[in-house]
Amino acid sequence: MATAFVDLVRIRIKSGRGGDGRVSFHREKYIAAGGPDGGDGGKGGDVVFVVDDNMSTLMDFRMKRKYIAPDGEPGGTKKSFGKSGQDIIIKVPRGTLIKDAESGLLIHDMSGDEPFVAARGGKGGWGNTHFATPTRQAPRFAKPGLEGQEMYLTLELKLIADVGLVGFPNVGKSTLLSVCSAARPKIANYHFTTLSPNLGVVYVDEGASFVMADIPGIIEGAAEGAGLGHDFLRHINRCRLLVHIIDVSGSEGRDPVEDFEAINAELSGYSVDLADRPQIVVANKVDILEEGSDNLERLRERAEEEGCLFTSISAASTQGVKELIHLVYNELQKLPPVAVYETEYFPEEPELADERDIQLEVIDGVYTVTGAWIDKIVASVNFDEYESRMYFERVLRKAGVFDMLEEAGVREKDPVNVGGVEFEYVY
């Protein structure tokens, strides 16, 4: 049974809450007033996306739309840490775009091999051990764990292919892909044989190859949602080069020049960038071209007027296919690599906190900044990314945290702890 092709889904993710810090005191025979020994809570589990090259569709997300990572465990006695919540791993096909469902802005492009943490688990709360000072030797309070992050995401699959085959239905795109590569798309003599994109690797020579995608047939009005083409035009966006297949045989009573112009109009209607994408126009089915027909020459002239490279083939008999493969490969060497989309989504800067929401203490020589507002900021920052760290510094400076530290006498390289994140102070 064939698997449905799904390339657009909406899901909900939530990372785990951090475990609460523990309030406890050391109790041991013959040792009185052992002091606080409450441990810190464990970190909540992250929600992590990874690329799985065995997946070619988002079909799995039709069955499951909610992904919630486990919470961290509370801290224990004897200063023992609570166990961290296990990360939840979400596998997606290569080329999946992760977008914020509300704004539609791109969060991450899953085109590489690096895992992406979409929602970080909340940090575990401090046990009462952290709050002991010379004047407060038996603190009977601890810090709760931070909440995890919850988001609604849109996953959109955009195939990663060097070359996209475009054209009207039944012009020979699937046949060409089948003779160029090991792909075996369904082929029959009726419109819309191809109901989902097919990918194939075309080997040119030792160490030389490219990926070709057969996009389902586009018809007039596709850019406005007609036919199947609109659903799959997004998959051409990444292609570096378009190979426009046109039937010049006249077997179906179509005019090749009109088809050429109609498809290009649909590409322009969908995306201005697509209209400017390099294109090779391929006249197909020349082996059954009607005698005396001028279709081939008229199409050649029109394609060259538009600045397109032109060649002719018969995909069914493989006539001219080898030459086309080398032409495509040579053109690809002149073009930049497949596009990886830049992140567009960044968390909004929160409203500035009231001074009462931020507390500053010096605990064992460490300038410690705490408060509910601080916790919220820390939970939204990915400290592994430079831009996120700069965002963290900018928000703290704007809220007056740096001024508070300097008024308290902080000096260069003094240890500073902000919401559980420790660093050296730098002017």
341 within a domain of the structure (yes/no)? no
| Spatial contact of 367 and 417, defined as CB atoms under 8 Å apart | yes
Clarify whether residues 127 and 254 are in a common domain: no
Residue 208 has pLDDT above 70, yes or no: yes
Mean pLDDT, residues 358-380 taken together? 81
Indicate whether 17 and 128 sit together in one domain: yes
Q: Are residues 240 and 292 in the same domain?
A: yes
| Residue range 90-115: mean pLDDT, rounded | 93
The three state secondary structure string of 237-289 is CCCCEEEEEEECCCCCCCCHHHHHHHHHHHHHHHCHHHHCCCEEEEEECHHHC
Residues 246 and 97 in one domain: no
- 198 lies in some domain: yes
Give the domain-ending residue among 301, 332, 363: 332
Q: Tell me the two tokens of residue 165.
A: 């085959």
What is the arrangement of strands in the sheet containing 116-119, beginning at the earlier edge strand? 88-92, 47-51, 116-119
Residue 278 tokens, joined: 């390099």
Token pair of 140 as six digits: 């009977």
* Bridge-based pairing state of the strands 150-157 and 116-119: unpaired
Question: What CA–CA distance (Å, rounded) separates 293 from 290?
Answer: 6
Q: Are residues 327 and 179 in the same domain?
A: yes
In this structure, the answer to whether residues 86 and 186 fall within a common structural domain is: no
**Does any domain span residue 81?**
yes
Residue 64 domain-assigned (yes or no): yes
pLDDT digits (tens, 9 = 90+) for 82-97: 999 999 999 999 999 9
The enclosing domain of 211 has a CATH number of 3.40.50.300
For residues 356 and 305, membership in a common domain is answered with no
Tokens of 242: 């378009």
Strands of the sheet containing 421-424, edge to edge, are 359-363, 366-370, 415-418, 421-424
Q: In what order do the strands lie in the sheet with 150-157?
A: 66-68, 8-14, 150-157, 96-100, 106-110
> CATH no. for residue 6?
2.70.210.12
Asked if 310 and 181 sit in the same domain, the reply is yes
3-state helix vs strand vs coil in the chain, percent to 5: 25, 25, 50
Q: Which residue has the tokens 């089915």?
A: 285
Residue 367 burial by Cβ neighbours in a 10 Å radius (0-12, 13-18, 19+): buried
Which residues make beta-bridge pairs with 100?
153
Last residue of a domain, one of 124, 158, 192: 158
pLDDT at 18: 92
What does DSSP assign to residue 198? E
Give the pLDDT score at 85: 95
Nearest CA to 6 among 157, 193, 154, 152?
157
Say if residue 319 is in the same domain as residue 358. no
Give 399's contacts (C-beta < 8 A, 6+ positions apart). Answer: 352, 353, 358, 373
Judge contact between 176 and 165, C-beta under 8 A: yes
The four Cα atoms 385, 386, 392, 396 give a dihedral, to 10 degrees, of 160
The pLDDT, as a whole number, for residue 349 is 57
Domain with residue 398: its CATH number is 3.30.300.350
- Please tell me the total count of domains within the chain: 3
> What local confidence, expressed as pLDDT, does residue 370 receive?
84
Residue 195 has pLDDT above 80, yes or no: no
Q: Is residue 338 part of a domain?
A: no
Return the pLDDT at 225: 47
Residues 15 and 77 in one domain: yes
Query: Within this chain, do residues 134 and 190 fall inside the same structural domain, yes or no?
Result: no
Mean pLDDT, residues 204-210 taken together = 86
**Structural domain includes residue 420:** yes
What pTM value is reported for the model? 0.71
Q: What is the mean pLDDT of residues 228-252?
A: 80
Residue 392 domain flag: yes
Q: Of 5, 111, 161, which Cα lies nearest the Cα of 173?
A: 161
Give the Cα separation of 202 and 181 in Å (integer). 5
Q: For residue 13, is it within any domain?
A: yes
- Mean pLDDT is lowest, of 92-106, 113-127, 340-354, for 340-354
Of 106, 136, 158, the domain-final residue: 158
Contact yes or no for 69/88 (Cβ under 8 A): yes
Give the range of the structural domain holding residue 379, as residue numbers without chain letter.
Answer: 346-427
Q: Which of 338, 188, 310, 294 is nearest to 243 (CA)?
A: 310
Q: What percent of the chain lies above the pLDDT cut of 90?
A: 37
**Would you call 376 exposed, middle or buried from its count of C-beta atoms within 10 A (0-12, 13-18, 19+)?**
middle
Q: Identify whether residues 123 and 254 lie together within a single domain.
A: no
3-state secondary structure of 174: helix
